Amino acid sequence: MRFGCLFLFLLVLASPSAAAAQKSSSQNLPPIEPPRPMPGAQGPAPTLRVTTTEVLVPTLVEKRDGEILYGLKQKDFILEDNGVPQTIRVQEEMDTAPVALVVAVDLGGASVLEFDKLAKLGPLLDLFLSDPRSRVALVGFDSTPQLIQDFTHAGDEVNGELKNLEPGDGGAAILDTVSYAVNLLESQPKEFRRVLLLISEERDHGSKHARPAQLIEQVGRSDVLVLSVSFSPGRAEFAHDVKDNGDDRTLNMVSALAMPVKALKKNVTKEIAQMSGGEYTTFTGDKKFEARVVDAAKHARNRYLITFSPSNPTPGLHTLRVRTAEDYGARIVARDHYWAAAPAP
């Protein structure tokens, strides 16, 4: 009986100690880590290189025969900001900075018909990577963007991924993808030339995060050059149009944003390219696709770099126009909008 009482006493005495030990042990375990977000999807806001103190306007001047018009000086350009001529500076040598390139390819819907062309894209990317410091990343998207290959100078790595693309769902979240790609590019060194090569259909289907007005501001405040190579309009035309995601419900339709927002819904790839000072083209066959990518690479580097400090840096969307002082009969491609940020408090 004494043994039973002693055992019971020891059991009661040990129970709190065992519970405390278990609690202490659980406190020492490392916390469960949450899933990591995709690179570039979250994190601090990027440093925006277009501010109200200086705006970068890459400008392509192309003759009628398709050749680049070289040798132009500062005096040969006229730039207007909201219709007002500005004092500009022109870097006389062409763009020689290393390139940070994001290739964003559409994997959704009918894009599977273009996979054979995308599989041949790899060697063409070497045109962007001539500088040993240059680098390229690959993003695929359907209803959501995903990073397939992080930045690398090894074109073979990207080439391998392009040959093994998997079809996505029926979405084409172009707005979300451009926003995602701009964030990726803004994480690269500031001395790099940031370029987005967007290969997709023309209309957005399924973007859930980036609204047209927000994307216009984001692109307008960055220095990312967007080169759009789109599927043939006849084949890329889907039965459904861009749905109202709520972006216009509070938008003042008489504001400066109204027209670009409306245009963005009709052809996302074209409007984003023009807004950034890049180019928009379409393709059908293999040869036409390769020619479009080669032209995009050539034109990305053969741009005059014009900068100016706005004489009236009113916050919001500004309209730009670049022309030459003399009529050379040339085609001029330059960004047609930028976004002036409000002064920091």
**Is 187 a member of any domain?**
yes
Do 222 and 80 have their domain in common? no
- Burial of residue 220, with CB atoms counted within 10 A of its CB: 0-12 exposed, 13-18 middle, 19 or more buried: buried
**Angle, CA 210 vertex, CA 206 and CA 213 arms, to 5°:** 120
**Is 1 a member of any domain?**
no
Which CATH number belongs to the domain containing residue 292 in this structure? 3.40.50.410
Listed in sequence order, the DSSP H helices in 172-285 are 174-186, 212-220, 233-236, 258-266, 268-276
**Is 15 a member of any domain?**
no
Do 107 and 131 have their domain in common? yes
**Is 34 a member of any domain?**
no
Do 153 and 290 have their domain in common? yes
The backbone region for 277, taken as left when phi is positive above 0, alpha when psi lies in -120 to 50, beta otherwise, is: left
Do 153 and 274 have their domain in common? yes
Do 285 and 308 have their domain in common? no
Do 104 and 190 have their domain in common? yes
**Is 20 a member of any domain?**
no
**Is 45 a member of any domain?**
no
Rounded (10°) angle between helices 174-186 and 212-220 = 30
Determine contact, residues 169/140, Cβ cutoff 8 Å.
no
Do 281 and 154 have their domain in common? yes
pTM here is: 0.75
Domain range enclosing 62: 55-93+304-340
> In a structure prediction context, what are the per-residue pLDDT tens digits for the chain, which is 345 residues long?
444 444 444 444 444 444 444 444 434 444 433 333 444 444 444 433 444 478 999 999 998 888 889 899 999 999 999 999 999 999 866 667 899 999 999 999 888 889 999 998 988 898 898 899 999 999 999 999 999 999 999 988 999 999 999 999 989 999 999 999 999 999 999 889 999 999 999 889 889 999 999 999 999 999 999 999 997 534 434 333 333 343 333 333 335 667 777 767 778 899 899 889 898 988 877 788 888 898 888 888 888 999 999 999 999 999 999 999 998 889 999 999 999 987 766
**Is 155 a member of any domain?**
yes
Determine contact, residues 149/142, Cβ cutoff 8 Å.
no
Q: Which two tokens stand for residue 145?
A: 């963007």
Nearest CA to 199 out of 260, 288, 332, 261 is that of 288
Do 260 and 328 have their domain in common? no
